[in-house]
Amino acid sequence: MKPVIALVGRPNVGKSTLFNRLTRSRDALVADLPGLTRDRHYGEGRVGERPFLVIDTGGFEPVAKEGIMYEMAKQTKQAVAEADVVVFIVDGRQGLTPHDKTITDFLRKAGRQVMLVVNKAEGMKYTSVTADFYELGLGDPYVISAAHGDGVVDLVNESLDIAFAQRAPEPETEAAAGRGVKIAIVGRPNVGKSTLVNTLLGEDRVIAFDMPGTTRDSIEIPFEREGKHYTLIDTAGIRRRGKVFEAIEKFSVVKTLQSISEANVVLLLLDAQQDISEQDAHIAGFVLESGRALVVGVNKWDGLDADKRDAIKMDMERKLSFLFFAKFHFISALKGSGIGPLMKSIDSAYAAAMAKLSTPRLTRALIEAVEHQQPRRKGSIRPKLRYAHQGGQNPPIVVIHGNALDAIDDSYKRYLEKHFRETFSLVGTPLRIELRSSK
Ligand code: GDP
Ligand code: GDP
């Protein structure tokens, strides 16, 4: 499971600067897809071989009792509760403020592991920039410059060490490891996730696995359908949520992100009887950025008349056009209808995500694509695409080698993606194209 680092601090200390540095988007294409809502507060980062999730908690007003500040404080509290490590940022140029003290009190009560970080420290002496902050009683501060990058890698490595040190060894549930397709069911509250899990596993199974565990556990539940093995990733605890608990914590972005990152295929569940919401689009955005294979289940399809169904389909097509690569299934988790075809799409999305694409076949497909449509010149330069090889699976990455590939624009990149997708029948998985110029 990826460790979770939460960035906390009052406004303007440099949280989003640090967040951006840590999560620098790898895939610029994702950024411009129409209709896609990206949540700038949650992201994935990596130092060396170590991946992690990072949360920017935004502004922080622990004292507010209502309104938007109250909502933000609630979000912050949830993020802090779910993080492995809290990185508490203060401003080295401004020095200690009363607000910093309030936040310290809050963090102390929350009982999380806190790293105190003095930002904006470029060009300053450790002793002078940190002197003020010992008063907080959080030990020796770390010193960074988020803007320049000084100290950031060390900070992350330290925080990951702390995160791993605190973790109990991961429970290997049965023979779950490595068994079949790993599926994460995600969606906003009330779309029908637990109902679908019940339908997939059968009531008995749900009860059998309904054992107590901490909120941090990621549980893998193996199940079988039509002779095939699958593993359900239940980080969010959907299977254990009875009616009693429903009101408490219906949705956790962190757990959703963790489920996604551990799955091979994500099943995004939507509610046909409600409009597509901002939250649906956010979750879809997370899936897309993760690169995982995707199947969309439009649930609660029972009890809708034909006109209504057409209207819903049109609305989905418009709002979720960026999920063009995924299969949509119209199902009823409650009645159990449409589940067979849905599972078939999960199988084929997995197969596409894990496809092995040989260098000769990829190169042939590349040459075909270029013959059919050349990349545009940029000034006097015409990019030259020479050969392609596979750089990864789940998602498949096609690495294209050539000259002057910097001159290739996004629309040509999309054209190539489409061509590879069609040539190799890759339905249900994102496909990444990476360009590598030899000069
Ligand atoms: P947030 O409100 O905590 O998310 O803070 P921002 O990341 O928006 O940063 C607030 C201001 O501080 C911006 O003007 C940043 O450019 C500036 N800033 C952030 N990090 C540094 C740093 O390391 N050094 C300096 N000098 N300024 C910084
Ligand atoms: P979750 O929060 O995503 O896990 O959603 P639940 O599985 O708890 O379902 C929320 C509500 O939607 C419950 O009242 C379910 O009975 C209902 N529901 C779930 N699936 C369906 C369905 O396919 N059709 C209809 N009509 N209702 C459903």
Q: Which ligand is nearest to the CA of 57?
A: 1
Q: Is 351 in the pocket of ligand 2 (CB under 6 A)?
A: no
Instruction: Dump pLDDT digits (tens) for 149-190.
Output: 999 999 999 999 888 877 765 555 444 455 789 999 999 888
Q: What is the DSSP string of 275-337?
A: ---HHHHHHHHHHHHHT-EEEEEEE--TT--HHHHHHHHHHHHHHTGGGTTSEEEE-BTTTTB
Confidence of residue 289 (pLDDT cuts 50, 70, 90): confident
Name 28's Cβ contacts closer than 8 Å, sequence gap at least 6: 410
Atom of ligand 2 nearest to the CA of 250: 2
Task: Confirm or reject CATH 3.40.50.2300 for domain 4-166, answering yes or no.
Answer: no
* pLDDT score at 42: 84
One of 3.40.50.1820, 3.40.50.300, 3.30.70.360, 3.30.300.30 is the CATH number of 181-352, namely 3.40.50.300
Q: Is 198 in the pocket of ligand 2 (CB under 6 A)?
A: no
* pLDDT score at 236: 62
| Nearest alpha carbon to residue 235 among 184, 180, 297, 286 | 184
Q: Is 11 in the pocket of ligand 1 (CB under 6 A)?
A: yes
Three-state DSSP at 138 gives: coil
Confidence of residue 254 (pLDDT cuts 50, 70, 90): confident
How high is the ipTM of this complex?
0.80
Comparing 248 with 436, the larger pLDDT belongs to 436
Amino acid identity of residue 360, one-letter, is P
* pLDDT score at 8: 93
Max mean pLDDT range (30-39, 197-206, 311-320): 311-320
Tell me how far the alpha carbon of residue 282 lies from the centroid of ligand 1, in angstroms: 26
Three-state DSSP at 408 gives: coil
Burial of 350 (0-12, 13-18, 19+ CB in 10 A): buried
Query: Is 137 marked as a binding-site residue?
Result: no
* pLDDT score at 415: 94
Amino acid identity of residue 235, one-letter, is T
What's the pTM?
A: 0.78
Tell me how far the alpha carbon of residue 129 lies from the centroid of ligand 2, in angstroms: 54
Q: CATH 3.40.50.300 occupies which residues in the chain? A: 4-166, 181-352
Instruction: Dump pLDDT digits (tens) for 403-421.
Output: 999 899 888 999 999 999 9
Comparing 246 with 107, the larger pLDDT belongs to 107
* pLDDT score at 60: 62
* pLDDT score at 255: 83
| Average of per-residue pLDDT across 194-210 | 67
CATH of domain 359-437: 3.30.300.20
Query: Is 413 marked as a binding-site residue?
Result: no
Confidence of residue 437 (pLDDT cuts 50, 70, 90): confident
